[in-house]
Amino acid sequence: MKIVQLSGGVGGGRLARGFAALPDIDLTVVVNVGDDADNHGLSICPDLDTVVYTLAGVEGPEGWGRADDTFTLNTELARFGVDNTFRLGDRDLALKLFRTTALRAGTPLSKVTEDVATSFGIRAEVTPVTDDRVRTMVRIGDGWVTFQEYFVTRRHQDEVADLRFEGAQSATPAPGVLEAIAEADGLVIGPSNPPLSIWPILAVPGVREAVSAHPRVTAVSPLVGGKSVRGPADRVLISLGLGSGNEGVANSYSGLIHRLVIDETDRNQAAEIPDIEVVVTSTMIADAGEAARLAQLLVAA
């Protein structure tokens, strides 16, 4: 059975781990690149790396970065007066350095990602939505800032007034992405931040159309008890005028999804979501067993 999952970072990676644990699933994870950045001249792809690390079971304790990592290089950088608040571990930096060199040599990001996934023994296909440069820009009070400025430097405290995805209009889907979506038996949008992590995927020409054309699209809500499990999704949905709670999630995917999976703590919100099927279950998937259970439910239903 072919499953394609659209994914941001931590939540998406955890659901992908659930699919990967099931037998007879041919999984393709199409990952957001809008958060990508250059830091100290290195190629930073937060969502791709989180998905790869999570599928490999080597993710850090907070979901991103590597387990058992050290921060020797990052700490030493402070000596030179450079901003090292974007903390990168030594093991994690090896991947960044490898990718930076490969990209400079002309290897497409999708090929580098495939090689990286293979080097971690991952059987699922993990691919950036595009090999082209897409950068999520966030409008906050004073003007537009990069995603990393908004999220890391300013700790996602600002109200998000608008989003744009620089470069998306002229980007091309990575090889195989549209085909994978078209051929998928199940198309799943992971429990990621809809505007910040999934919209930049949909913004790549052809992707939104491919998703709309799919007969069976399920989104997993990133909210539990009406709030984001991590990050600012709940607040962003409201500040962008999409509405609060899972109504906001459903609105963010308007015309795209046939089914929304919400957490059992938000059972009372089911009635507020018109036109699509709502599935109520536990969406807490921090451990691999819970993730596999949710993935099984998505595959079966």
Contacting positions for its own copies (CB under 8 A): 40-42, 69-70, 72-74, 76-77, 79-82, 90-91, 93-95, 97-98, 100-101, 104, 115-116, 119-120
Nearest distance in Å: CB 82, its own copies: 6
Nearer to its own copies, 79 or 155 (CB): 79
Q: How far is the CB of 175 from its own copies (least distance, A)?
A: 21
Please say which residue, 71 or 144, places its beta carbon nearer to its own copies. 71
Nearer to its own copies, 56 or 198 (CB): 56
d(CA 197, CA 129): 11
Structure-token match 């999984």, residue found:
27
Shortest gap between Cβ of 136 and its own copies (angstroms)?
Answer: 23
- Closest approach of Cβ 9 to its own copies, in Å? 21
What distance in Å separates the CA atoms of residue 174 and residue 131, rounded to the nearest whole number?
5
Least distance to its own copies, CB of residue 283, Å: 33
Tokens representing residue 169 in the block: 């209009």
Judged by beta carbon, residue 42 or residue 145, the one nearer its own copies is 42
Q: Which residue has the tokens 């080597």?
A: 58
Q: Of 269, 267, 279, 275, which Cα lies nearest the Cα of 218?
A: 279
Residue nearer to its own copies on the CB measure, 98 or 144: 98
d(CA 51, CA 7): 8
DSSP strand E in the chain: where? 2-7, 26-31, 37-39, 42-44, 125-128, 135-140, 143-146, 162-166, 186-189, 217-220, 223-224, 227-228, 259-263, 277-281
Q: Which of 246, 229, 102 is nearest to 237 (CA)?
A: 246
> 113 vs 221, which CB is nearer to its own copies?
113
In the complex, the smallest distance separating the C-beta of residue 115 from its own copies, rounded to whole angstroms, is 7
**Are the CB atoms for 211 and 28 separated by under 8 Å?**
no
Considering the complex, state which of residue 72 and residue 170 has its C-beta at the smaller distance from its own copies.
72
Dist CA 42 CA 127 (whole Å): 19
CB of 129 to its own copies, least distance (A): 23
Residue 179 contacts residue 254 (beta carbons within 8 Å): no
Which are the contacts of 45, defined by CB distance < 8 A and separation ≥ 6?
Answer: 33, 35, 36, 99, 109, 113, 128
